[in-house]
Chain A
Amino acid sequence: MIGVAKTTRSAQAGLAPARSMMIRAKLGRVLGTLFWWVLSVGLFAGFWEFAWWMGWADPLLMPPPHLFLGSWSDQLKFFDLRNTIGGSGDGGSWLAVLKVAGWTSFRVLAGLLAGFVLSLTVGILIRYYRLFGNLTLPLVSLLAPISPVAWLPVAVFLFGIGDKPAIFMVFVSVFFIMTIATLAQIDDVPKSFVHAARTLGASRRQIFLRVILPAILPGLFVTLRVNLFAAWMVVLIAEAAGVGSGLGQIVMMARNTFNASLVFFTMSVIGVCGLLFDWTLRRIQEQVLWWIDDNGTRK
């Protein structure tokens, strides 16, 4: 099946040399990116291995990649197939690793989504309804600088243990900053965009839905992407303390049981997850918000 698809594609490419050149150029770009990735990670791993080989890095405390990745079969048993609190790990397969990473990712995603939607709503209400703004803006400004970590006990008081406090923590880590970003974005919409719409006969509602909203979404999306990493940091803390499952819990357990290999193994899984998240958001941004470039400035 794959073979068939390949031959038709190359046949088409033969017919359209411009297209085949485009494909080749794209392939070149991908290979180039891959090359630097391999080199960057490889150099880092190489130094680490060298340090181990020279006897500088204690294999118990700082096991190099070939040790903590090579012993994967020992690590897998710590990954639980079920999303249960205090599960002692009955996995022992890569499926369990995927499941645990999946649960953590789900918490990040749910918190981010709730934070994005609610901060957008609140930000818009603040700008559109003065009374609401007067009542909420001081509170938002007061709560915004508080570190999400300080919210941890509150999360547990409110939601006990389980998924909810972790989702709440991610939510808190993005909500305030995104609300303030929404306000800044609304204030940054060029006045002429609104004036032009009004002279073309737009109602208040139309101005909001068809001018303000599309004008602020790209900037907010970039803010979301920047805060994605913060969300990943926070979810691990929440899991370590409040959830009892997930990647954060495994890191915490590894720390308590002095299992350095498991720490680094889990850190690698976390890194890959965060990277995939960012990559996905980038693709969404390219597809849905095509009129801005990577940094959120108008093209």
Chain B
Amino acid sequence: MTLPAIECRNLNKIWNAQSHAPLQTLKDVSFCVGRGELNVLLGPSGCGKSTLLYLIAGLDEPSSGQLLCDGEPLQGPSPERGMIFQEAALYPWLNILDNVGFGLSLQGIGKAARNAKAMELLEAVGLQPFWDKKPSELSGGMRQRAAMARALCMNPKVLMMDEPFAALDIQTRSKMQDYLIALWQRSQASILLVTHSIEEAIGLADNILVFTSRPGRIKTQIKVELPRPRNPRDPAFHQLQDHLADLMADEVNRAFAEQESAHF
């Protein structure tokens, strides 16, 4: 049996644990990310999905529970676990090529090797002609593709994406999803993508983890076995969409009820 790429055991995250108003964002979260799997974390806003990504990226530590990467306890960030943020977070003082090669340059890899690798990835995301542009000269979708290339340049085993397409318009979004699938199939990395869009989840995922509203727990896991490329007009797609919409509606209602009762 092969080890899962990432394993979470009973993760809890409590903000301001010492204060009079502790806020629990994650509660007893346990799941595995299989090698090469595309997992989508789906849940209402503020349910702790992003917190979970930050924990797995090593940018933050859980209050309790265990996080294993290849069976080893996870310690801090590593280029093996790449992350893509909602805003592309490209460095404005570097051109696109240098942005993509930034991680390699941190490792002291020479310019020629770095540029060759970065160029290869720019080609894969269709940005090769723009290699010498500044990030400000690219559109939002292009910037997000450059950010993908930057993360993939490190050959990560796991790629985390925190609502990567949320700031893009719908047309750009669906193109970006195509790019993502192509890149994923080429790289064999496991992907963990956070979204609150049901359609995006079904369009992309092998496995959907549905989160409850705060504190975030895993409500259900749904395997999506529709063949790729997935067609939103497929009746099976619709069926799944309705099912997930019901699950989500419960959570959103619960979250709103909680917010309203908190006022009194």
Q: Given the known A-B contacts A214-B91, A214-B93, A298-B92, are A196 and B134 also in contact in the complex, defined by CB atoms under 8 Å?
A: no
Check A291–B134 contact: CB distance below 8 A: yes
Query: A196-232 vs B: 1/0 string, CB under 8 Å?
Result: 1111111100100011001100000000000000000
How many angstroms between the C-alpha atoms of A192 and B78 in the bound complex? Answer: 16
Tell whether A138 is near chain B: CB-to-CB under 8 Å. Answer: no
* Chain A: interface residue total (CB-CB under 8 A): 22
- State how many residues of chain B have any CB contact under 8 Å with chain A: 25
B59 touches A291 (CB 8 A): no
User: Is B106 touching A195 in the complex (CB atoms < 8 A)?
Assistant: no
Q: What CA separation (Å) do A199 and B158 show in the bound complex?
A: 11
Which of B79, B85, B103, B136 has a CB less than 8 Å from the CB of A195?
A: B85
A130 to chain B minimum Cβ distance, whole angstroms, is 19
A190 within 8 A of B: yes
User: B residues 52-74 with Cβ under 8 Å of A?
Assistant: 57-59
- Which secondary structure dominates where chain B touches chain A? loop
**Chain A residues near B57 (CB-CB < 8 A):** 195, 199
Complex interface: chain B residues within 8 A of A200 (CB): 79, 82, 102-103, 106, 150-151, 154
* Known contacts A291-B93, A299-B92, A199 near B81 by CB under 8 Å: yes
Max chain B Cβ within 10 angstroms of own Cβ: one of A198, A199, A211, A298 = A199
| Interface pair B83/A195, CB less than 8 Å apart | yes
Assess whether A193 is interfacial by the CB under 8 Å rule.
yes
For residue A291, give the distance in angstroms from its CB to the closest CB of chain B: 4
* Chain B positions 89-130 with a Cβ under 8 Å from a chain A Cβ: 89, 91-93, 102-103, 106-107
Q: Once the chains bind, are B77 and A190 in contact (CB under 8 Å)?
A: no
Q: CB distance A196 to B136 under 8 Å?
A: no
In the bound complex, residues from chain A placing their C-beta under 8 Å from that of B106 are 197, 200-203, 206, 210
Within 8 A of A (CB), among B124-175: 134, 136, 147, 150-151, 154
Partner of B89, one of A196, A201, A298: A196
Q: Are B59 and A198 in contact (CB under 8 A)?
A: yes
What is the distance, in angstroms, from A75's C-beta to the closest C-beta of chain B? 47
Shortest C-beta distance, A243 to chain B (Å), equals 40
Report yes or no: A192 in contact with B93, Cβ–Cβ below 8 A. Answer: no
In the complex, A298 Cα to B89 Cα: how many Å? 13
Q: Does B87 contact A (CB under 8 A)?
A: yes
Report whether A196 and B83 are in contact in the complex, using a CB–CB cutoff of 8 Å. Answer: yes
Q: Identify which of B77, B93, B103, B107 gathers the most chain A CB atoms within 10 Å of its CB.
A: B93
State whether B103 touches A201 (Cβ < 8 A).
yes
Q: Is the CB of B89 within 8 A of A299?
A: no
Contact A190 B89 (CB under 8 A): yes
Bound CA span A113–B113, Å: 38
Q: How far is the CB of A284 from chain B (nearest CB, A)?
A: 15
Cα A193 to Cα B59 in complex, Å, equals: 13
What's the least CB distance linking A15 to chain B, in Å? 25
Q: A residues within 8 A CB of B85?
A: 192, 195-196
Contact across chains for B59 and A299 when beta carbons are under 8 A apart: no
* Interfacial chain B residues near A197, Cβ < 8 Å: 102, 106
Q: Is B136 touching A199 in the complex (CB atoms < 8 A)?
A: no
Cα distance, A168 to B138, chains bound together (Å):
46
**B110–chain A nearest beta-carbon distance, Å:** 17
Contact of A201 among B77, B92, B134, B136 (CB under 8 A): B77
- Which residues of chain B come closer than 8 Å to A211, judged between CB atoms? 91
Set of chain B residues within 8 Å of A202, measured between Cβ atoms: 106
Complex Cα distance, B134 from A292, in Å, reads: 11
Residue in B closest to A211 when the chains form the complex, CB atoms: B91
A291 touches B92 (CB 8 A): yes
How many whole Å from B83's CB to the nearest CB in chain A? 4
- Residues in A neighbouring B79, C-beta threshold 8 A: 199-201
**Once the chains bind, are B77 and A298 in contact (CB under 8 Å)?**
no
Measured in the bound complex, the distance between the Cα atoms of B85 and A299 in whole Å is: 20
Closest A residue to B156 using CB positions: A199
B114 to nearest A CB, angstroms?
Answer: 13
Smallest distance from the beta carbon of B94 to chain A beta carbons, Å? 8
User: For residue B136, which residue of chain A has the nearest CB?
Assistant: A299
Give the distance in Å from the alpha carbon of A64 to the alpha carbon of B81 in the complex: 72
- Knowing A206-B106, A210-B106, A291-B136, say if A199 contacts B91 (CB, 8 Å): no
Q: Is the CB–CB distance between B107 and A193 below 8 Å?
A: no
The answer to whether B77 touches A199 (Cβ under 8 A) is yes
* Sample (11) of A-B pairs whose CB atoms are under 8 Å apart: A192-B85, A195-B57, A197-B106, A199-B59, A199-B83, A200-B79, A201-B77, A203-B106, A211-B91, A291-B92, A298-B136
Given A196-B147, A291-B134, 15 further pairs, Cβ under 8 A: A195-B83, A195-B85, A196-B83, A197-B106, A198-B59, A198-B77, A199-B58, A199-B59, A199-B79, A199-B82, A199-B151, A200-B154, A210-B102, A215-B91, A292-B92
Closest 4 CB pairs of A and B: A200-B103, A192-B89, A201-B79, A199-B83
